[in-house]
Amino acid sequence: MRLPSINLPSSSPIGGIDVDRLGQRGAASIRDGVLPDLPSVRSLRLDQVGKLLRRHRDVLEADPQGEPVVRREILAWGMDPAALATALAEGSRIERELGDDQPGLPELRMLVLRVPDGSETATVLARLRALDPGGVYDFNHIYTGSAAGLTGSTTAGATHVASSVASPVAGAGVAPSRGGPRVGLVDSGVDTSHAVFQGARIERWGCAGQPHPSAHGTAVAALMVGQSGRFRGGAPQADLYAADIYCDSPTGGSADKIAAALAWLAGEKVAVINLSLVGPANGALERIVGALQQRGHLLVAAVGNDGPAAPPLYPASYPGVVGVSAVDRNGRTLPEAARGPQVMFAAPGNHMVSAAPGAPAFRPVRGTSFAAPLVAALLSQSVAGPSKAQAAAAIAALARQAVRADGATVSNETGYGIVGAALRIDPASVR
C-alpha cells in the first residue's frame, strides 16, 4: 500500500484523468468470484470520477495523481499575510473566504484562491508552498458519494455536484425542535417531503435555499432520522442538520464546500456529523476536520468501496474520524468495502432498503455510504453537544455493544465490531 498522496506539484501541465492509474488502486481487489453481483471497481467510484472530468473539463481538471479538482482553484489555510500580498501581486485573486460567518471559530477560516490566467494550478501551488511553509495549501479536490449501489437512481458524485455556499434554510413545513439530540449530515439533497420525514425536524443548508432532492442524500438521511409505519432510522427522535454540498453543480462535493458545511454545523453546535463521501487526502480539509475534533465534534465517515487492496480514502482515514465499513445480513464484510486501521465500526450496508424520492418510495441500497449514517445515529444518542469527553465516552460505549467474531480482536475489516444490526430494514418488509 502506497503512502497517501501529498499532491506534490508537477512541472508539466495537468492533463485529463489517468483512469488506468486510478484503476490500479482497486484492481488488486478484484479476483474471480469476489464481486459476483457487482461490476468492477473501475465502473464504481473511478467511473464516476472519469465521467466528471470528461463532462466538465471547463470547470474541472486532474491533479498529478489523477484525482478531480476544481480548475484553477487553490485552498489556503493559515496563510501568512505577506504570502497573500505576494500571491495577489503575482496575479492570483481571492475567489471566496470561508468561515467569516462564524466569528467565534477563527480556526475554520480558509481562502479559496483563483490561479492567474495562463498559469498552471500545480505551479502556483508549488510557489505558494515555497512562499509560506507555515501555511497549508492544496488543490480543491472533488469528493464523491461512497455508495456501491442505489437501485433505480444515481449515486452522489456522478450527477449531484455544489454551487456557491448559501445561508441555512429550514425545510418547508418542518416540525419544531423536539429537544432531542442533534445530528449532522454532509451529503447531497434530502427529499423532505418523503413520508419517513413527516414530523421530523430537518434544518437545511446550501444551494441558496433551493431544494435539490437526491436519491443518495435522501437514503442516508432516512437511515439517520426517518420513521414511518414500515421504516425506522437509527435516531428518529433527533433533529437533522443537513448540508447539501452538491446542488447539481459540476464543482459539487469540493473540499471547500465540505469545509463550509462543517463550519455551519460547528456554529450550530451539532456534535455528531455524518459524511458518506470519499476522496483523496487534502491538507486544508484535514485542518478543518482537526479543528472540529478539538472542539469536541464527532465526525463519522464511510470508508469507501474501492476494495480491500485500495489505499485509504478520506475523510474516513483522518485521525480521530470514526471510519465505518459495511456488512451484509449475515455479518460478512462487503467484498468491495475498504479495509485498514481507519475502520472503527461496521454496520448493515447490504440486503436492506432506504427511502427514495419518487416511486417506489423505498429502494435497495448497498455500500459503506449506508452503514455510516447508522453509526452516526447511534452515537448521537449519547452526545448532548460538542464535547471531547462525551465523544470518547460514546465511542467506548458503542464499542462495548459491538459484536466481534472472537469477542475481543479489533480488526481491519470491522474495527471494534458490528453495530446496528437491528436497524437493517429487509426489502421484504416494505413490499
| Whether 212 is catalytic | no
One-letter amino acid of 257: K
3-state secondary structure 105-139: CHHHCEEEEECCCCCCHHHHHHHHHHHCCCCEEEE
| Half-sphere exposure for 43 (CA within 13 Å, toward CB) | 6
Q: Which three cell numbers stand for residue 165?
A: 455556499
One-letter amino acid of 126: A
- Alpha carbons 156 and 148: distance in angstroms, whole number: 11
| Whether 426 is catalytic | no
Angle between helices 372-380 and 215-225 (to 10 degrees): 30
User: 355 CB contacts (<8 Å, ≥6 apart)?
Assistant: 191, 194, 195, 196, 197, 218, 219, 221, 222, 226, 231, 361, 362
Find, among 303, 308, 341, the residue nearest to 28 by Cα.
308
| Whether 216 is catalytic | yes
- Beta-strand ranges (E) seen in 177-271 are 182-187, 202-205, 227-228, 231-232, 239-244
**What is the DSSP code (8-state) at residue 418?**
B
- Alpha carbons 277 and 369: distance in angstroms, whole number: 7
CA 316 to chain centre: 8
Cα four-point dihedral sign 19, 21, 25, 30? positive
Find, among 248, 164, 238, 240, the residue nearest to 211 by Cα.
248
- φ, ψ of residue 273 to 5 degrees: the values are -130, 130
Catalytic pick from 163, 369, 380, 382?
369
318 dihedral zone (left: phi>0; alpha: psi -120 to 50; beta): beta
Residues in the chain, total: 431
Could you tell me which residues are beta bridge partners of residue 347?
A: 326
Catalytic pick from 56, 160, 194, 216?
216
Q: Which three cell numbers stand for residue 95?
A: 475567489
Could you tell me which residues are beta bridge partners of residue 184?
A: 241, 273
- Alpha carbons 376 and 394: distance in angstroms, whole number: 11
Find, among 188, 321, 324, the residue nearest to 253 by Cα.
188
Catalytic pick from 63, 132, 138, 187?
187
Find, among 345, 346, 344, 326, the residue nearest to 336 by Cα.
326
Active site residues: 187, 216, 369
